Amino acid sequence: MKITERLWRYRSRSLAQAMVYLVFLLLFISTGVFAFFNFIKLKEEITELNIKQVRNLVMAYSETLDGDSIEVDFQRREKNVYYNKWDTVIDSLLKKTRVKYFYVMNASYDDSIEVYVSARDHAGKSRFLEKMSIKDFDIDIIKKLKNKSETNISKIDYYPDYGGWLIYSYEAIKNSKGKVVAFAGVDKEMFDVYSDMKKIGANLLFASVLFLAIVSLLIIYLIKKIFISPISRIIVAADNFNLLNVSFKDLDLTHIKEYDALIESFRKMERKINYAMKKSFTDELTKLNNRYFFTLSMENILKPVKKEKTIAFFIIDLDSFKLINDKHGHEKGDFVLKNTGIILKQVFGDMPGVVVRLGGDEFAVCLDDIAGRQIVEDKCKIFKEELSQITYAQDKTGVSASVGIIITKFSEVAPIYTEIFSAADTNLYKVKAKGKNGYLITEI
């Protein structure tokens, strides 16, 4: 793996993690705050709703009572004819609601308050004129009712003896002269309500966590899709950039303005580099590529691959070229070199690979991913025949060449360029040693 790619992957992971952690933290905080305030708001609304319910119940019941009759009953220590009706109504209301106590009490008190009518959800009905401890009632509210500063007061307080939070509401009961002779009251425990609230809170927390998880996964996907993946693709294209091989042109646009502008900038840079390098890669005389280009091309050809491929490597040396220059002049020598370049393009140019002039009268060819040895044999025969047709003197003497060829197969373990070159060069000199004008193929 290339160093830049390793560094990029390390950095991209860090960038992705930082963005994910930041977004997740913000989401966690916002979701937690949202859930907390919604829970508090819901709790307040439910509490207010219960207070209103208790108030309405005590107001509705007190309207059925007669203050004069209740006052006489307290004075005579007896029940009037309406008592059983009021008792039945209070029982019915208690059963239909989730209240703890429903009662009517004497507004006059010393150290205790007398019960007129009462119903309790857990201990049955209390007796008429039963005395209750003054500590069980809110004396401040009773005083306000008696001095007529308030006619109805509702509160919520914490009473450990009654299981926790308790909502209570008092309604003044007046006689025909306007005197407060008694008060009706309703007590409702909030234990069950708050227990239900805890369940609602748990459900809200679960929904918030589920929402947080879904949104986090979506954001992680979007971060990878929008930020990390495009940058990674650009880095890979840059790592794979090879002079005169397209890399950024084949890179798809991301449809994100800034990234696409960056890709276009890379494409322009690539075109400028390729134009400049193409001129420096070209042999001016033969118009073939030069040795430097051949070295770069071989780096690309000799990259490891998953599927096995076969390459053929040629080193070509014109026979007796120095004699042509010495006897017929450099103009004829250049003529031979130019035509050799044309023939090489004609013979090998239809196949994937590279054809170059290494320098002087030496040329090289590398055919990439060939079918087998036979295609190499055929190309050598055609090249030899075409080369013999070049005439540079009056006697129409043709040109010949000695060729050393190496055929090798590889996949994930690629051969070394210098070793292939050396082996092909050895074959070339074996051909020259045997009289030139031929080729030698070795498979390794």
pLDDT tens per residue, range 129-162: 999 888 888 889 989 998 888 889 888 887 776 6
Predicted pLDDT of residue 163: 62
Q: What pLDDT, on a 0 to 100 scale, did the predictor assign at position 106?
A: 92
Nearest to 117 by CA among 109, 106, 108: 106
- Name the band, by pLDDT with cuts 50, 70 and 90, for residue 194: low
The per-residue pLDDT for 440 is 95
Averaged over 4-24, what is the pLDDT?
A: 58
What is the C-alpha to C-alpha distance for residues 365 and 349, in angstroms, rounded to an integer?
A: 10
Indicate the domain borders of the chain. 3-43+196-238, 64-189, 242-274, 282-443
User: What pLDDT shows up at residue 151?
Assistant: 87
* 3-class DSSP assignment, residue 337: helix
pLDDT at 272: 78
pLDDT in the model for residue 406: 96
Q: What is the CATH number of domain 64-189?
A: 3.30.450.20
Task: Give the per-residue pLDDT at 2.
Answer: 52
Convert the pLDDT of each residue in 48-88 to its tens digit.
888 898 899 999 899 999 999 999 999 999 999 999 999 98
282-443 and 64-189 share a CATH fold: no
Residues 145 and 236: their CA atoms lie apart, in Å, by 84
- Residue with the bigger pLDDT between 278 and 29: it is 29
Model confidence at 246: pLDDT above 70: no
Confidence of residue 247 (pLDDT cuts 50, 70, 90): low
SS3 assignment, position 79? coil
Q: Residue 32: its pLDDT value, please?
A: 72
> How confident is the model at residue 18, as a pLDDT?
65
pLDDT at 8 over 60: no
Mean pLDDT computed over every residue of the chain = 83
For domain 282-443, give the CATH superfamily.
Reverse transcriptase/Diguanylate cyclase domain (3.30.70.270)
H or E element: which one contains 52? helix 3-62
Task: Give per-residue pLDDT as tens, 396-439.
Answer: 678 999 999 999 999 999 899 999 999 999 999 999 999 999 99
Question: pLDDT of 297-332, one tens digit each?
Answer: 999 899 999 899 999 999 999 998 998 888 889 999
pLDDT of 159: 72
> φ and ψ at 148, to 5 degrees?
65, 20
Q: How far, in Å, CA of 442 to CA of 376, rounded?
A: 11
Residue 198 to residues 31, 161, 190, 260, Cα–Cα distance (Å) = 18, 22, 12, 52
* Among 440, 420, 421, 419, residue whose Cα is nearest residue 430: 440
pTM: 0.44
